């Protein structure tokens, strides 16, 4: 589109078409290229300036027409989406350096940027490197002839799930000639679908975004998670469906907060940044964020990488029971860890320490901000983590003591079904919920300038996201996936998600090596029952 | 209300306290406490007073919000973990990780305190957590400190015994640490915390807390404040601000 439009007179360099409206760039001593090429058809333009208003990154300005600062365009497509004339196209800026199989574009650009700044590269959302995606090597079974499938339209399908501890055994005593349970049952969480929302704090995302997710959780009978950002006053009505998180910064953690939630989550690690803490930069700590986190305005909110009162499983047990004591044993406690090499043994320790849930976050999980090098190179796939943790807990005879929640790159109901078949009790989704709110995965969450009003605290931007409308979109997503899960269950001839849990016999693999198959506990396609 | 904690599991002991607090009881005398954890954990109410005879276990006063606790003996680790408000007084020594993430209230320890004291303490609005140690402190004092005040008085110190340990103030980005006496600069994380003599203003800030401490333990406040103090404070509220390539 750009090349067909004539450059406007007097702006930019003549004769360059779409690039004609580009502002001259500061020219460094090296060659770092803009990531995106912003093109604009001047003939179609209605000169409404909406593109300039919509850009959260201030990449566009108006000088008798839209002018782009190519260094600032992140390719979020907000302007393109909101242009009433469809006059804008944002396309990847193809570079014409000599191609090199080892030194790809990203590597070269990163070296240039670090040569300039000497800093650690930051990014947002999940790992974007092309590691193998094991979900795409797993296929689900279906019924044919000898084992009739079930039509979810005419028969009830059970997606309702329970998260928490199941006693090792249930003892029954007789009272007045009638049996009644003698075993003390711990608190469990009931969800209407095995899809819950991942932890995203107020601070990393806007209040409107968090509210949309909380409202969707209430509407769908599932759970949301405060992340380590405290519980905002306006979200208290939704707290009975929330995990309230307690992490190393202890932001907003106090007795009322712990008692307000449906469950408590101790965050040890995050899939996008295993082994490192979190830094919410001071400029994102607004008055409201400060109130919710209970820290001064403008100060960095540092969550140190480990919790310095937890150096062992024994220490973890101490915190688990400190939280249970503080809440009169009425709240199940989840422990969230990043999936790392030794995840099975760690999960076993977590369960033995008294956790009611283990939340596994795979290396493709999202983040509001993380060093790129950490996000892209640490951890292990969630598919592997689920399989080895489930296996370890079964072998030790303690699988009943805790539910497994799996997260980190769940893209569809099929991924969810495969995760459950591998051994998860539920999956948690973060990125998918943000996509439902308009996110385009530009990965610039850490800048706080999100044009879609999701990962920003700028009131000019956050008001773009209507929490009610957003909640309907997120709830629709959960409903759609849940309906698909019912279809999958029906095709597999089972009428409850419980029947799929840990049923690896219903999975087959294509294109995986023998060792990976053994680790996953899955047979290759072509092998029958 | 008097509870004999002899051979009582912490879960039962704390259940009795919680139920009594819910029923309006405010005065507790716990006798024969011997390592029971989580006493006062999550208890709310400024009128609640818990008097402990013996040695309470870890996480004394965790998430506590208002009560006053007095320990007639030593305390163990993680006292005042994420405490919101209230006062904890320990007549003897206390262990490691005291006041982790503490947001308000006071912790007074008559004797020495262990490692990792005051990690990530933070001030918020009217709340300012204060930890006063009568004796000396171990390594990692005030790491990641974001607010509040840590005071080490070094009373009854052996000759040559260091006042604080290594790595004091690592990651510090708020709050203030006062130590009475001289501190070897090598013990302080100079990348994060600046060290200098405490000025008159500092002594004014410190005084009410040291007075309260001395009143609690019937000590002479002028003696406790005698001599020079050093002051450690965060160099930046944004210690990681310059770390990234943007």
- Both tokens assigned to B45: 């109410």
Interfacial residues of A (vs B; Cβ cutoff 8 Å): 113-114, 116-122, 246, 248-250, 253-256, 258-259, 279, 281-282, 290, 294-296, 298-300, 302, 304, 308-309, 318, 321-323, 325-328, 371, 447
* Chain A residues with CB-CB distance to B238 below 8 A: 281-282, 299-300
Domain boundaries, chain B: 1-68, 93-246
DSSP state of A449: B
Shortest CA distance from A253: residue in chain B: B82
pLDDT given for residue B135 in this prediction: 97
Q: Which DSSP string do the residues of A358-378 spell out, in sequence order? A: EEEE-TT---SSEEHHHHHHS
Dist CA A268 CA A360 (whole Å): 10
Produce one character per residue of A436-450: b if its CB has 16 or more CB atoms within 10 Å, e if not.
bbbbbbbbbbbbbbb
pLDDT given for residue B124 in this prediction: 87
The pairing of strands A188-191 and A161-164 is antiparallel
Shortest CA distance from B143: residue in chain A: A308
Q: Is the pLDDT of residue A53 over 80?
A: yes
- Both tokens assigned to B7: 């051979």
* Chain A residues with CB-CB distance to B58 below 8 A: 318
ipTM field: 0.96
Shortest CA distance from A294: residue in chain B: B124
Q: How many residues does chain A have?
A: 529
CA count, 13 A, side-chain hemisphere, A288: 17
The pairing of strands B174-180 and B229-234 is antiparallel
Contacts of A451 (CB under 8 A, 6+ apart): A54, A55, A56, A57, A76, A78, A79, A461, A464
Q: Is the pLDDT of residue A12 over 50?
A: no
Section A439-454 average pLDDT: 95
Dist CA A306 CA A268 (whole Å): 7
Section A241-258 average pLDDT: 95
- Both tokens assigned to A40: 């604009």
Q: Tell me if B144 and A281 make a contact (CB, 8 A cut-off).
A: no
Least CB–CB distance from A321: residue in B38, B97, B173: B38
Residues of chain B scoring pLDDT < 50: none
* Chain B residues with CB-CB distance to A250 below 8 A: 82, 100-101, 103, 120
Q: What is the pLDDT of residues A378-427, one digit of tens each?
A: 999 999 999 999 999 999 999 999 999 999 999 999 999 999 999 999 99
Least CB–CB distance from A327: residue in B42, B78, B243: B42
Q: Tell me if B65 and A254 make a contact (CB, 8 A cut-off).
A: yes
Section A197-206 average pLDDT: 96
The pairing of strands A195-197 and B244-245 is unpaired
Give the distance from residue A184's alpha carbon to the nearest chain B alpha carbon, in angstroms: 14
Cβ(A26)–Cβ(A116) under 8 Å? no
pLDDT given for residue B20 in this prediction: 98
Give which of B120, B233, B242 to mutate to test A binding, by max A Cβ within 10 Å: B120
The rounded percent of chain A whose pLDDT value lies above 90 is 82
DSSP state of B129: -
Give the distance from residue A324's alpha carbon to the nearest chain B alpha carbon, in angstroms: 9
Dist CA B240 CA B17 (whole Å): 43
The CATH number fitting domain B93-246, selected from 1.10.3720.10, 2.160.20.60, 2.40.160.210, 2.40.50.1070 = 2.160.20.60
Q: Is the pLDDT of residue A207 over 70?
A: yes
* Chain A residues with CB-CB distance to B244 below 8 A: 119-122, 371
Shortest CA distance from A121: residue in chain B: B245
The rounded percent of chain A whose pLDDT value lies above 70 is 94
Strand partners, A425: none
pLDDT given for residue A13 in this prediction: 39
Q: Tell me if B245 and A122 make a contact (CB, 8 A cut-off).
A: yes
Give the distance from residue B68's alpha carbon to the nearest chain A alpha carbon, in angstroms: 16
Least CB–CB distance from B82: residue in A119, A121, A253: A253
* Average predicted confidence (pLDDT) for chain A: 92
Section A302-319 average pLDDT: 93
Range with the largest mean pLDDT of A3-12, A290-299, B69-78 = B69-78
Q: Is the pLDDT of residue A445 over 60?
A: yes
Domains of chain A, earliest start first: 17-119 (3.30.70.20), 194-492 (3.20.20.70)
The lowest-confidence range among A30-34, A260-264, B57-61 is A30-34
Give which of B11, B80, B101 to mutate to test A binding, by max A Cβ within 10 Å: B101
pLDDT given for residue A23 in this prediction: 60
* Chain B residues with CB-CB distance to A327 below 8 A: 42
Number of CB pairs, chain A paired with chain B, less than 8 A apart = 140
Contacts of B163 (CB under 8 A, 6+ apart): B136, B137, B152, B154, B157, B179, B180, B181, B182, B183
Q: Is the pLDDT of residue A339 over 80?
A: yes
Give the distance from residue B210's alpha carbon to the nearest chain A alpha carbon, in angstroms: 25
Alpha helices in chain B (DSSP H): 10-22, 200-217, 221-225
The lowest-confidence range among A86-100, A260-274, A323-337, A430-444 is A86-100
Q: Tell me if A119 and B240 make a contact (CB, 8 A cut-off).
A: no
pLDDT-based confidence at residue A29 (cuts at 50, 70, 90): low
Q: Is the pLDDT of residue A155 over 50?
A: yes
pLDDT-based confidence at residue A22 (cuts at 50, 70, 90): low
The CA-atom distances, in angstroms, between B134 and each of B89, B140, B214, B224, B225 are: 11, 17, 9, 9, 11
pLDDT given for residue A15 in this prediction: 40
Give which of B63, B80, B148, B174 to mutate to test A binding, by max A Cβ within 10 Å: B63
């Amino acid at each position: 589109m750009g090349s067909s439009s004539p450059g406007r007179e007097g702006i930019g360099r003549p004769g360059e078409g779409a690039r004609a409206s580009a502002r001259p760039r500061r020219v460094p001593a090296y060659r770092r290229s803009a990531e995106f090429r912003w093109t604009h058809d001047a003939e179609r333009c209605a000169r409404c300036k909406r593109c300039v208003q919509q850009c959260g990154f201030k990449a566009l300005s108006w000088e008798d027409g839209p002018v782009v600062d190519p260094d600032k365009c992140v390719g979020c497509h907000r302007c393109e989406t909101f242009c009433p004339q469809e006059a804008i196209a944002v396309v990847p800026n193809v570079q014409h350096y000599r191609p090199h199989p080892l030194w790809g574009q990203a590597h070269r650009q990163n070296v240039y940027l670090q040569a300039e700044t000497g800093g650690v590269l930051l990014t947002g959302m999940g790992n974007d490197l092309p590691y193998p995606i094991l979900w795409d090597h797993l296929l689900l079974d279906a019924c044919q002839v000898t084992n009739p499938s079930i039509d979810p339209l005419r028969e009830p399908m059970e997606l309702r799930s329970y998260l928490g501890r199941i006693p090792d055994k249930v003892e029954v005593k007789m009272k007045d000639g009638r049996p009644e349970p003698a075993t003390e049952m711990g608190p469990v969480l009931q969800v209407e679908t095995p899809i819950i929302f991942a932890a995203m704090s107020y601070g990393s995302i806007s209040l409107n975004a968090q509210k949309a997710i909380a409202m969707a959780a209430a509407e769908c009978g599932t759970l949301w998670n405060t992340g380590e950002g405290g519980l905002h006053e306006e979200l208290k009505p939704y707290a009975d469906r929330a995990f309230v998180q307690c992490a190393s910064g202890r932001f907003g953690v106090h007795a009322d907060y712990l008692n307000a939630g449906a469950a408590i989550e101790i965050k040890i690690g995050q899939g996008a940044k295993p082994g490192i803490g979190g830094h919410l930069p001071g400029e994102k700590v607004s008055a409201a964020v400060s109130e919710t986190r209970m820290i001064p305005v403008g100060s960095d909110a540092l969550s140190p990488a480990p919790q310095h009162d937890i150096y062992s499983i024994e220490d973890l047990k101490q915190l688990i029971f400190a939280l249970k004591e503080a809440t009169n044993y009425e709240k199940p406690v989840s422990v969230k860890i990043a999936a790392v090499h030794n995840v099975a043994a760690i999960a076993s320790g977590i369960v033995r320490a008294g956790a009611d849930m283990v939340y596994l976050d795979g290396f493709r999980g999202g983040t509001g901000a993380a060093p790129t090098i950490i996000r892209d190179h640490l951890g292990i796939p969630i598919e592997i983590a689920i399989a080895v943790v489930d296996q370890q807990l079964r072998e030790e005879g303690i699988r009943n003591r805790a539910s497994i929640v799996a997260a980190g790159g769940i893209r569809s109901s099929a991924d969810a079904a495969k995760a459950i078949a591998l051994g998860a009790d539920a999956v948690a989704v973060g990125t998918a919920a943000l996509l439902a709110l308009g996110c385009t995965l530009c990965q610039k969450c850490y800048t706080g300038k999100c044009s879609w009003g999701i990962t920003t605290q700028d009131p000019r931007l956050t008001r773009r996201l209507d929490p009610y409308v957003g909640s309907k979109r997120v709830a629709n997503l959960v409903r759609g996936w849940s309906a698909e899960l019912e279809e999958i269950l029906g095709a597999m001839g089972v009428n409850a998600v419980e029947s799929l849990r840990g049923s690896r016999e219903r999975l087959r693999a294509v294109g995986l090596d023998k060792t990976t198959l053994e680790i996953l506990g899955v047979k290759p396609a072509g092998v029958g029952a | 209300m008097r509870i004999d904690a002899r051979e009582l599991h912490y879960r039962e002991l704390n259940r009795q306290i919680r139920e009594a607090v819910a029923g309006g009881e405010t005065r507790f005398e716990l006798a024969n406490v011997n390592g029971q954890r989580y006493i006062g954990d999550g208890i709310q109410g400024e009128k609640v007073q818990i008097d402990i005879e013996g040695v309470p276990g870890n996480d004394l006063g965790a998430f506590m919000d208002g009560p006053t606790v007095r320990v007639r003996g030593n305390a163990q680790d993680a006292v005042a973990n994420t405490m919101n408000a209230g006062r904890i007084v320990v007549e003897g020594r206390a262990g490691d990780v005291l006041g982790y993430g503490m947001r308000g209230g006071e912790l007074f320890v008559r004797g020495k305190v262990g490692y990792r004291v005051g990690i990530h303490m933070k001030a918020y609005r009217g709340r300012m957590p204060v930890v006063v140690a009568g004796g000396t402190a171990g390594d990692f004092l005030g790491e990641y400190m974001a607010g509040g005040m840590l005071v080490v008085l070094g009373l009854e110190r052996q000759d040559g015994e260091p006042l604080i340990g290594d790595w004091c103030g690592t990651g510090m980005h708020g709050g203030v640490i006062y130590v009475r006496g001289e501190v070897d600069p090598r013990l302080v994380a100079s990348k994060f915390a600046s060290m200098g003599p405490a000025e008159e203003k500092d002594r004014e800030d410190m005084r009410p807390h040291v007075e309260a401490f001395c009143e609690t333990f019937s000590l002479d406040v002028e003696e406790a404040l005698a001599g020079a103090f050093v002051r450690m404070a965060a160099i930046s509220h944004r210690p990681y601000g310059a770390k990234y390539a943007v």
